[in-house]
Amino acid sequence: MSGARLPIARKKPFRPKRRKVMRSGRIPPNYKHQDFIRTFPCLLAGDPRHVCHGKTEAAHCGINHGRGIKSPDETCLPMCRSLHLTGRYSHHSLPRTFWDHWGLDREGLILEYQARGVLEGTITEVHLERLKGVNC
C-alpha cells in the first residue's frame, strides 16, 4: 500500500450543471401563453414532407435564438418534438435556413399566434408593450 488513491464512489454518475438560458431584456416568463401554444397541432401537421413525432412543444422562434438568449415566450410557435429539436431538418438543426427550407413565414406566424393569444387572454397589453423594444 504505497498510498495509491481510490476513485470516489458515487451513487449517481457525475453530470455537470447546465447553464441556464437568459431571457432577452429580462422579460419574465409567460407560462400561460406557452401552455396555450401547446394546445395547437404542429406547424407542419399534414405536410407530406414531414412526419410528426412527439408532443407539441412551444418553440421559441424570435430573433435572439442561437445566441444563448431565449426570445420572449410571446414568440413561441407550436412544433412537434422532431420539428423543434430532434429531426434532421429541425429548428435547432437548421438555425439559419429552417424557415426557407420549409417555406414558412416566421414573422407572419408569430403575429398570427400572438393575435390568437390576445383573443384568448394569454397575452395582455402589458406583454405587448414589453415586446415593442424587443426584436421578434
pLDDT interval class at 104 (50, 70, 90): very high
In a domain, 21, yes or no: no
In a domain, 8, yes or no: no
Q: Which domain holds residue 97?
A: 26-131
Mean pLDDT (whole number) for 99-109:
92
In a domain, 10, yes or no: no
In a domain, 13, yes or no: no
DSSP classification of residue 62:
S
In a domain, 80, yes or no: yes
Residue 87 or residue 24, greater confidence: 87
pLDDT confidence of residue 9: 67
Q: Please, what is the average pLDDT of the chain?
A: 81
In a domain, 17, yes or no: no
**Domain count of the chain?**
1
In a domain, 120, yes or no: yes
pLDDT interval class at 21 (50, 70, 90): low
pTM for this one? Answer: 0.75
β pairing state of 76-80 and 69-70? unpaired
pLDDT confidence of residue 61: 87
What does the pLDDT look like over 53-76, one tens digit per residue? 989 999 988 876 456 677 888 889
**CB distance 57 to 110 below 8 Å:** no
Instruction: Please state, for a pLDDT cut of 90, what percent of the chain lies above it.
Output: 38
